[in-house]
Amino acid sequence: MVMTVIPARLNDKKDKLILIDQTLLPEQEKFLELDLVEDIFEAIKKLRVRGAPAIGVAAAFGLYVCILKSEATTVGAFKREFEEKRDYLATSRPTAVNLFWALDRMTNRLNKEENKTVEEIKAALLDESEKILAEDQEMGKAIGEYGLSLLKPGMGLLTHCNAGGIATSGYGTALAPMYVGYEKNYNFKIFADETRPLLQGARLTAYELFKAGLDVTVICDNMASIVMKEGKIDAVLVGCDRIAANGDTANKIGTSGVAILAKEYGIPMYILGPTSTIDMNTLTGDDIEIELRDGEEIINGFGKRTAPEGVKTYNPAFDVTAAQYITAIITEKGIVWPPYKDNLKKLF
């Protein structure tokens, strides 16, 4: 029932990273087999794998398959190679903290095993990356149950971008309560913002919810206000790329506008994400680096030029929703209510 495709995993021999190429969905379900650091970097940068938790899993497995080929005979030389590849992967995308979180976990594991042989360290890195995937698979169900406790059968739900099974490895985050609710006959009416410019809402959220049999309606981003005004939305559920220590949250561009609208219409705005997306070292949203992407994505999307060639563009991929617009943050460890500065700290 729930999305069964794991967006980032290892092949059976455990020497290649397998990704479903999300840039080709929903038309084509094509799987990529990668083991070169340049290809893994490219896949993350070009959003072949995307969504904060899936980026973390891809980075961990990606780093593992690259370093598995190392011919280093001393731990020192192996560590240098590892760090070079890790630092390169860390420059693929700046906003989702899960990328850095996963690379840090791999680094900490290596440091912990440093007195072992190169082969033993490789085995430990495999174990760590598999743990990251397993934890990711588990967190979605818990987020789904906590999220569902705030919802009622028959509700209208709005989501933005894609924070579903294709962005994690199971139930997703924002979509998790929808899947868990579906299993319990909640009959939600789900609205998916199409999410310009890369259409993660239309291509991915609609794809996975529709395929799983849920009631989903695609709207253009600029229709969120009217569906709220018409009383079709009872709650907004979105994912997150980085939650700062004060609760300010970076998510796909357009999320902050939806949050401001929701406040105006008196609709609760929930952020759903794993604790790995909370970055207590980032104090406020102002400290979050926002990825700027190629303007061609706006004016020449999906092979169709829709604005004059050479016109100026501005293409930030994320925005920050200020904590004051967020009703609650739902994690696998429980629901966090304001004041976020105190309550996020308690979570750790």
| Residues with catalytic roles | 241
User: How far apart are CB 206 and ligand MRU at their closest, in Å?
Assistant: 14
200 or 331: whose CB is closer to ligand MRU? Answer: 200
Query: Considering the rule CB under 6 A, would residue 157 count as an interface residue with ligand MRU?
Result: no
Given the rule CB under 6 A, which of 68-76, 118-126, 238-246, 339-347 is the region that contacts ligand MRU?
Answer: 238-246
At 11 the three-state DSSP class reads coil
27, 43, 170, 273 from 215: Cα distances, Å: 20, 31, 19, 23
> Is the separation of the CB atoms in 144 and 179 below 8 Å?
yes
User: Which residue in 25, 161, 190, 216 binds ligand MRU (CB under 6 A)?
Assistant: 161
> Is the separation of the CB atoms in 49 and 58 below 8 Å?
yes
Q: Which residues pair with 218 in a beta bridge?
A: 192
Query: Considering the rule CB under 6 A, would residue 249 count as an interface residue with ligand MRU?
Result: no
User: Which residue in 25, 44, 53, 139 binds ligand MRU (CB under 6 A)?
Assistant: 53
Number of amino acids touching ligand MRU (CB under 6 A)? 19
Residue nearest to ligand MRU (CB): 239
Closest listed residue to residue 261, CA positions, set 224, 218, 217, 223: 224
- Count of CB atoms within 10 A of residue 238's CB? 27
Query: Considering the rule CB under 6 A, would residue 252 count as an interface residue with ligand MRU?
Result: yes
In one-letter notation, the amino acid at residue 98 is N
CA atoms lying within 13 Å on the CB side of residue 21: 14
Q: Cα separation of 136 and 53, whole Å?
A: 7
Q: Cα separation of 282 and 256, whole Å?
A: 18
User: Which residue in 17, 97, 106, 163 binds ligand MRU (CB under 6 A)?
Assistant: 163
Query: Considering the rule CB under 6 A, would residue 239 count as an interface residue with ligand MRU?
Result: yes
The phi-psi region of residue 299 (left if phi > 0; otherwise alpha if psi is between -120 and 50; otherwise beta) is: alpha
User: Which residue in 25, 65, 167, 288 binds ligand MRU (CB under 6 A)?
Assistant: 167
Contact code string over 67-106 relative to ligand MRU, x by CB under 6 A = -----------------------------x----------
Q: Which residues inside 19-48 make contact with ligand MRU, applying CB under 6 A? A: 47
113 or 332: whose CB is closer to ligand MRU? Answer: 332
Q: Cα separation of 125 and 106, whole Å?
A: 6
Closest listed residue to residue 264, CA positions, set 223, 229, 219, 221: 229
Q: Which residues inside 306-345 make contact with ligand MRU, applying CB under 6 A? A: 317
Q: Which residues pair with 193 in a beta bridge?
A: 219
Contact code string over 196-215 relative to ligand MRU, x by CB under 6 A = ----x---------------
Given the rule CB under 6 A, which of 102-110, 167-175, 307-315, 326-334 is the region that contacts ligand MRU?
Answer: 167-175
Residues that bind ligand MRU (CB under 6 A): 47, 50-53, 96, 161, 163, 167-168, 172-173, 200, 239-241, 251-252, 317
